[in-house]
Structure formats: C-alpha cells, structure tokens
Structure 1
Amino acid sequence: MAAKLAEDAGALLLELRNSSDLTGKNLGDAGDHKANTMLIAALREHRPDDGILSEESQETNARLSKNRVWIIDPVDGTREYSEGRSDWAVHVALAIDGKAAIGAVALPSLNMTLRSDVTTASPTRSDKLRMVVSRSRPAKEAVAVAEILDAELIPMGSAGAKAMAVVRGEADIYLHSGGQYEWDNCAPVAVAQAYGLHCSRIDGEPLTYNQSDTYLPDLLICHKEDASHILDLVNGINDQ
C-alpha cells in the first residue's frame, strides 16, 4: 500500500507539473497540497486506526499514543520538483514502535519506486567511494569526511533522491548533518535498511520516529563495512 500511494501521488504530481501553467513556488505549493490531500485521504480510509505525521498537515498530539504511525512527505524536494528536475521524491513510511518498519520512496521523474518489501541484492560498493551531498549546502562533516576518504562528491537534490542513490548503487555514502525532520528520512531509511545498508544518526545512535519533537537533524546511510570508520571520522571532526 505504501508503494501504491507513493506512486499515485507521484503520478498526480507529474500530471500537475506537465499540464499546469503554474511555475516556481506556486507550482511547488500546489503540488504539496494536492499530493498531501490525496495521501491523507487514502490513509484515513484504509488505515483509520493508525496515526499520521505529514510535513504538510497541521501537527496534533494524537499520533503520540499510537504505536503505528504513517510518516509522509508528499514532495521531498519541492524546489527540484518545481524546477522540472528529476531528483525529487515522494515518501510514504510506516513507523512501528518508533522504528522505520515499512517504506516506499517514489522517484516519479525516473518512473521508479523503491520499497522495503520488494528488494534486489544489496548495492555493490565502489572501489573509489562516492558520497551524495546537497547541491546547494553540502554539510561540513560530509565534505571533511569525503576529503579524508578521497571520496567523489555527487551533488543531488532531495533527501530521498540522495538516499536512493545509495540504494541503487549510484553512490556509497549519504552523510547529512544540516537538519532534517522525521518525514525527510523515515521512508528512505526503511528502504535502505531493507537493502542491507547501515542507517543511523551521525553519532551512531539509532533513528527513532514518532517523537513529540519531529526534528531529526542528521543521518548516515552507507555500506555496513564502512559505517564504523565513517562514524569515527565524524566523531573526530566534531571533537576538533
């Protein structure tokens, strides 16, 4: 269901972008609103007893008493979407007891959806490591770690697109410290974990969802064999 909802929202967003006269921020706002309305309505119809946390809906405390909470980002990478780029995503995830249990990340411009229940083999690690970073604001820790590892930096848009680049084998590391919220990474983490990748905070602590404070500022997704070394490097950089 998560995959179908993400795909349906993606199709709606592509149709809006291709057929509308809206541009820029107006297009992004309209896409956020339409996709969110569709996703919320479907979840309330099909999973009425579950909680919902969405970037685009007014926050309530009702979800905090639920052990099953859908965490969604109707348009992850609104700017990329509104600019006609391909590096944006739709996130639909289910957190169970605070863990990213089920997730789907649609990449509508690539006609692709990655999901936690249908996986291929774990992505192959490149001999020369590749790290995805923000195309506009690369995190200082990421740049410093990449320099130490002699890793290639790959600028990219949304969080979902960057995380799925690692899942798809187009990159090896996604190290982020510039600030995110639960909806930015819950679905990507559920998918990445299903593909056998390491996912954690940049201090090595687990990622916990459905918290009263939804701010979840940092994230590491990488191959398991690289995780300890990268975490040590980040710790050393932050201690300087």
Structure 2
Amino acid sequence: MPASDFETDLTLLTDAARAAGEIALGYWRKGPDAWDKGDGAGPVSEADLAVNAMLEAELRGARPDYGWLSEESTDDPARLEAGRVFIVDPIDGTRAFLAEDGSFAHALSVVENGEVVAGVVHLPVVGLTYAATRDGAALLNGAPIQPNSRAEIDGSTVLTSKLSDDPGHWRQGQRPDYRRSLRPSLAWRLCLVAEGRFDATISLRPAWEWDTAAASLISERAGAICTDQRGERLRFNNAIPQSRGLVVANPALHAAFLSQLRDWPI
C-alpha cells in the first residue's frame, strides 16, 4: 500500500470524524435517549447509533472492499478475511457525552495485516484533532507532537483508573508513587501521552481495539511505545478484538512500568 494511499485514507477518516462531531453535537446537552447495553458493556445512546450509521455509510461507501469493526455494530466475521479494515469507536466516552462533559472523542482507523496505517482521534467540543499515518508524523491540529522525556515512575502523572491502586498488580506489592488522573476517552488518554501533557497511560483490564487502534498509531508515530501489559506490540483485527491491558509512555518510562507491573493475567 503506497504512502500516498495512507494519506488518502487519512483524509477520508478526518472528514468522517469531523462529520461525526457535527452529528454528536446535535445531540449533546439535549438529553438524547440512552440505555445500558448490559453485561458490563456500559451505556449507548441514540447519538452513538446515529454517528455509527453515518460512519459506516460514508466509509464503507468510499471503500466497499474494506472490512468493518465498530463498537456499535454487530461483528461480522468477514472482516477477518479483509485486506484492510475500518476499526472505529463512534463515540469514545459515552458516559462523558451523556453527562454533558466535552471530553468524548471519535476514534477512526484503517488497519492492514494487523497494523494501523491511518488513524484519527477527534474531540469536537474542545476542537482537537489528532492524526497520523504509518509513515508520517503524529499531528495535533496539523502540528507535530511528541511525548515528554520523564524516565521515573515516582512523581509521574499517569492516566489510569482506580484499578491500578490494587497492590496485587505490582511486583513490589504496592503501587508506585505516581499521581493518578483520568479522562473518559481511552483514545484521548493515549493522545495526551503522545503530546507530552501526561507521562503515561496504563489499563489493567482488557482494552477494546476500537478504543486503541487509532490512538496507538498516533502515540507510536509521536515517539511513544504502545504495548499490552506483557510488553507485546498491539495487533488489530483479532477474532476477539481486545488486548491484554495497555501500557503507553516514552521508551524509558514504558520500560520502567513493565519492570514493575505483574505479568498478565493477574
């Protein structure tokens, strides 16, 4: 796949992400209908479904030979045989969206042979668009970004959930002395590390591919390392579309986290 095609797909994703934002903003702060998906999958709203319908129509209409994997679509095993696959989260951070918090995102990617080749994470309320191709720089609103250079866990600021406080996740039997913060969108957490605003993000539970595909490419092209909890590079379009946790940071800090986290599974 020539690099020019990566850029063509990135343009397609970017346009679709911005259109997704326009649809989402039409529902935001207007009390859209919402319900729980059950089985711990969290909420979904009429806005999620409207964005998903538009994305599938626009993206698959433009690339009918690409497979499709979305949080809000019934999984079609045919994607496993496709040469290229769209992996999307129509609204990443639905709880935030429903709480009228503007930190939700649209995460769109193209995957080829298990690797992300183009990705966009767009936050319409705060006006942020992160983007990258496999052969290009990671960009925020068109400007290059890179992670910071902190090497020590202690004193760092990490985007993660309260789950990381459990001492059972750490080799020394206690959590390192970092400051814990959180953003509702997992995709945005990776991008915040990519631009150096936070030192790392870790997830100690399985991470869905639609949450991480686009942002993993952005973080890697910025210069961060993005792996599962075992330190293995993420691969996408798996039959079960999850990774075994997530560790994202600059190379030195990433290695420090892997040295202190217990092996998966806990």
TM-score by length of 2: 0.80
Contact 1:91 1:103 in 2 (8 A): yes
Unaligned runs of 5+ in 1: none
Alignment match of 2:218 (pick from 168, 191, 194): 191
Measured after TM superposition, the shift of residue 207 of structure 1 is 0.8
- Change over 3 Å in CA distance of 1:115–1:63 after alignment to 2: same
Contact 2:119 2:131 in 1 (8 A): yes
Contact 1:93 1:102 in 2 (8 A): yes
SS in structure 2 of the partner of residue 156 of structure 1: coil
Measured after TM superposition, the shift of residue 234 of structure 1 is 0.9
Contact 2:32 2:47 in 1 (8 A): no
Structure 1 CA distance, aligned partners of 2:165 and 2:108?
25
- Equivalent residue number for residue 254 of structure 2: 227
SS in structure 1 of the partner of residue 110 of structure 2: strand
- Equivalent residue number for residue 22 of structure 1: 32
Which residue type is aligned with residue 31 of structure 1?
A
Contact 1:25 1:82 in 2 (8 A): no
Alignment match of 2:114 (pick from 60, 74, 98): 98
- Change over 3 Å in CA distance of 1:90–1:222 after alignment to 2: same
- Change over 3 Å in CA distance of 1:24–1:211 after alignment to 2: closer
Structure 1 CA distance, aligned partners of 2:47 and 2:163?
24
Answer yes or no: is 1:51 the counterpart of 2:32: no
Answer yes or no: is 1:202 the counterpart of 2:229: yes
Structure 1 CA distance, aligned partners of 2:249 and 2:112?
23
Contact 2:33 2:46 in 1 (8 A): no
Contact 2:111 2:118 in 1 (8 A): yes
1:69-97 deviation per Cα after TM superposition (whole angstroms, max 9, x unaligned): 11000011110111011222111011110
SS in structure 1 of the partner of residue 206 of structure 2: coil
Does 207-216 or 121-130 show the bigger shift?
121-130
Structure 2 CA distance, aligned partners of 1:47 and 1:113?
22
TM-score by length of 1: 0.88
- Change over 3 Å in CA distance of 1:143–1:235 after alignment to 2: closer
Structure 1 CA distance, aligned partners of 2:190 and 2:265?
26
Measured after TM superposition, the shift of residue 43 of structure 1 is 1.0
Equivalent residues, number: 237
Equivalent pairs: percent with the same residue? Answer: 25
Contact 2:167 2:175 in 1 (8 A): no
Measured after TM superposition, the shift of residue 201 of structure 1 is 0.7
Contact 1:192 1:198 in 2 (8 A): yes
Measured after TM superposition, the shift of residue 8 of structure 1 is 1.4
